[in-house]
C-alpha cells in the first residue's frame, strides 16, 4: 500500500509539473510572438483587437495545436517511463543497431530519474522535520525559496554521483570492446516485428502528411 501511494505521488508530481510547464510555455509563446499564427497560416482573422496582443483565430488554432501536442505526448511518455525496464530498453536499442555506449547512457538516465525524485522528497521531508515548512501551508515565496535550497545541493550531489559512476565504469574497462552482451537480451518474436512494422508505417504516414500539408501543421484557413 505504501509503495502504491509513493508511486501515485510520483506520477502526480510529474503530471502537475508538466501541466504547469505547458501553461507557462503557452503563455510565453503568446506574449513573445502573438503573430506567429498569422505567419504560419498566411492569413489573419482578428478575434480580439488589443494592439500588440491582438488575438487572431490563427494564433488561437496554433496554441490549440500546442496544447494537443502535450495531451497526446505526455500520457505516452509517462506510460513509457513507468512500464519500461531500463536494461531491457538499452538491450533493445543495441539490438537494432544503436551503439551500446549510447544505449547504456540511456539506461543510466532512465534509472536516474526516480533516484533524483526520491532524493528530492527525502531532503524535503528532512527540511520539514527541522521546521522549514514546504507544504501547501507555507506561502508561495517560501515554498519557492525552500525548493531552490533543495535543488541546488541536489544538482551538485547528482554531479558527484555521475563522476563516481563514470570512474567505476572506466575501472571496469567499459567501452574497450566494440560489442557487448546483455543479460536481459531477448530474441525478437512476432509481436516485436509487428510493432516495428507499425512504427515504420506511422513514420511514413507522418512524412506523407508533411508533404500534403506543405509543413508540420494542418492549415484550415486556406
Q: What is the largest CA-CA distance in the chain?
A: 65
Q: What is the pLDDT of residues 35-64, one digit of tens each?
A: 888 888 888 888 888 888 888 888 888 898
What Rg do the C-alpha atoms of the chain give, in angstroms?
23
Q: Which residues contact 119 (CB under 8 A, 6 or more apart)?
A: 154, 157
Residue 202 exposed, middle or buried by CB count within 10 Å (0-12, 13-18, 19+): exposed
State the pLDDT at residue 4: 46
State the pLDDT at residue 204: 93
Q: CA 194 to CA 173: how far, in whole Å? A: 37
State the pLDDT at residue 198: 93
Percent of the chain scoring above 70 in pLDDT: 91
Helix axes 57-83, 2-32, angle to 10 degrees: 160
Show the low-confidence residues of the chain (pLDDT under 50): 1-6
Q: CA 70 to CA 78: how far, in whole Å? A: 12
Question: Rounded to 5 degrees, what angle do the CA atoms 97, 100, 105 make?
Answer: 125
Q: By the 8 A CB rule, do 21 and 184 touch?
A: no
State the pLDDT at residue 3: 43
The distance from CA 205 to its chain's CA centroid, rounded to whole angstroms, is: 24
State the pLDDT at residue 194: 92
Amino acid at each position: 500500500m505504501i509503495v502504491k501511494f509513493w508511486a501515485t505521488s510520483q506520477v502526480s508530481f510529474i503530471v502537475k509539473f508538466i501541466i504547469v510547464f505547458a501553461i507557462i510555455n503557452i503563455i510565453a509563446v503568446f506574449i513573445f510572438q502573438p503573430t506567429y499564427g498569422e505567419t504560419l497560416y498566411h492569413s489573419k482573422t482578428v478575434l480580439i483587437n488589443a494592439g500588440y496582443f491582438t488575438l487572431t483565430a490563427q494564433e488561437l488554432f496554433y496554441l490549440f495545436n500546442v496544447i494537443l501536442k502535450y495531451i497526446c505526448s505526455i500520457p505516452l511518455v509517462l506510460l513509457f517511463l513507468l512500464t519500461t525496464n531500463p536494461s531491457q530498453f538499452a538491450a533493445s536499442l543495441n539490438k537494432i543497431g544503436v551503439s551500446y555506449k549510447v544505449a547504456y547512457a540511456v539506461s543510466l538516465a532512465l534509472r536516474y530519474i526516480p533516484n533524483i525524485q526520491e532524493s528530492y522528497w527525502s531532503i524535503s521531508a528532512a527540511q520539514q522535520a527541522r521546521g522549514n515548512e514546504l507544504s501547501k501551508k507555507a506561502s508561495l515565496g517560501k515554498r519557492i525559496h525552500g525548493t531552490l535550497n533543495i535543488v541546488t545541493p541536489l544538482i551538485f550531489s547528482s554531479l558527484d554521483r555521475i563522476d563516481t559512476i563514470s570512474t567505476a565504469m572506466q575501472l571496469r574497462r567499459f567501452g574497450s570492446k566494440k560489442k557487448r552482451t546483455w543479460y536481459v537480451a531477448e530474441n525478437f518474436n512476432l509481436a516485436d516485428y509487428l510493432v516495428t512494422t507499425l512504427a515504420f508505417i506511422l513514420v511514413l504516414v507522418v512524412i506523407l502528411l508533411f508533404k500534403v500539408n506543405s509543413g508540420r501543421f494542418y492549415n484550415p484557413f486556406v
